[in-house]
Each structure stands twice: as structure tokens, then as C-alpha cells.
Chains A and B, each alone.
Chain A
Amino acid sequence: DQQVKQNSPSLSVQEGRISILNCDYTNSMFDYFLWYKKYPAEGPTFLISISSIKDKNEDGRFTVFLNKSAKHLSLHIVPSQPGDSAVYFCAAGGSNYKLTFGKGTLLTVNP
């Protein structure tokens, strides 16, 4: 039972354009959501998070949107840069101190 889904295994965008990565979840008990970026041979790096009481959080080029009624969140990267090319994981947490991860989306930003 996959509680956090990233339905796009990969995404390719041009440098300078917007990258939109999507994530759906099924468990309404999740309290907060996070995005991580992962390069090969490295651990995931925290990017940005959002609490379930908010619908938007922004940090520089990264913005996360949360639509609780649709159980959907998205990460917007504007403008996209070649160094953003990595695997992006969506994760959700609740009151049990564990994170549930999606399977990741490989983002490729072309120069």
C-alpha cells in the first residue's frame, strides 16, 4: 500500500523554465510534508517543508503548494538550473515520528 505516490518517474525541463514536481498521498493523518533532493552516491538533502495547516511555503527558488482536499502537493522550482538535476523525493510525516517517502522523480534540467 503506497501512501505517498510520485507518478512521474522522470521530468525534463529547459534551463530557466519552471520545474513542477507532483506528489499525491492517501493518508489524511499526515501532519507535514517535505521535499528532498538526492544526487547519486549521496544521501537525500532537505529542501523545503510544509505543515498541513498551510497551503504554501516559499524558500528562494523553491515553493511547495499543498492541496489538502485533493491530497496533493507540488514543488515548483523557478528558474530551473542545471545543478537542480537530481532525484526529488516527496515525504510525509505524522504523529509516529517516521517519514513515508515516494519513489522519487528524476529531474533533468537541460542547458
Chain B
Amino acid sequence: KAGVTQTPRYLIKTRGQQVTLSCSPISGHRSVSWYQQTPGQGLQFLFEYFSETQRNKGNFPGRFSGRQFSNSRSEMNVSTLELGDSALYLCASSLGGLENIQYFGAGTRLSVL
């Protein structure tokens, strides 16, 4: 069974631009969560989607948005990029129930110059 796939693996953008990251979950998984990892901050929760609906959202500004498609694939968009958005963005998928294990992709490394 294929794991969680995130594309692209690396991105370089400049301030003010926007970016879209993609995540393909494990087959059969209906929940996709997104996290931001920065040095010294651990993993910060962005949002979670289940069956195309956002079920939960973290404390990030509205510049961060996401969506999920009917095949459970998900995209995350960041508009008006800031230098502080440079981070590793991780996607995780699960079956979607309570106490389900989340399985992570390798992440997208975003650098904002």
C-alpha cells in the first residue's frame, strides 16, 4: 500500500507570492491533516479535512487555506507569502475516526525569500 505522498518536496518562493501544496493520502483514508514544522516549534496544527469538509482549524491566519477533493486528495494554499512562512509543511492521513493513527508524508520544504 502506498504511503502519503506530498508534492512538491521543495519550493522556493518570494514574499508576496502564493503557493499550493498537494497531498495524496493512503488509499482508504478519508481524513487529511496539515501541520507546519519550524525549528524549535515542533509541529503546529493547521487544519483537518474529512470527506471534503473542514472539521478543525488551528490558530493560523486566513492566508492559510485548504481543501479536500472527493478522492480525499488535499491541497493547502498560502497566499501573500511572508518570510516567516518558511517551514516544513507536513500532511498526515488517517481513517478519520477518534483515536485513529495519523500517518505522515515526507513533507514539502517551503523557503520564502
**A residues lining the B interface (CB < 8 Å):** 31-32, 34, 36, 41-46, 49, 51, 89, 91, 93, 95-104
CA distance A102 to B42 in the complex (A): 6
B56 cross-chain contacts in A, Cβ below 8 A? 96-98
CA distance A53 to B104 in the complex (A): 26
Q: How many A-B residue pairs have CB under 8 A?
A: 65
**B residues lining the A interface (CB < 8 Å):** 4, 6, 31, 33, 35, 40-45, 48, 50, 55-56, 58, 90, 92, 96, 98-99, 101-107
B102 touching A43, Cβ below 8 Å: no
Question: In the assembled complex, how far is the CB of residue A65 from the closest CB belonging to chain B, in whole angstroms?
Answer: 18
A104 cross-chain contacts in B, Cβ below 8 A? 42
Partner of B107, one of A34, A43, A96: A43
B45 touching A43, Cβ below 8 Å: no
A43 touching B48, Cβ below 8 Å: no
CA distance A31 to B99 in the complex (A): 8
**Known A89-B43, A97-B48; contact A46-B101, beta-carbon cutoff 8 A:** yes
A98 touching B58, Cβ below 8 Å: yes
**Known A51-B99, A89-B43; contact A97-B104, beta-carbon cutoff 8 A:** no
CA distance A104 to B102 in the complex (A): 17
Residue of A34, A51, A96 with most chain B CB atoms under a 10 A cut-off:
A96
CA distance A101 to B99 in the complex (A): 15
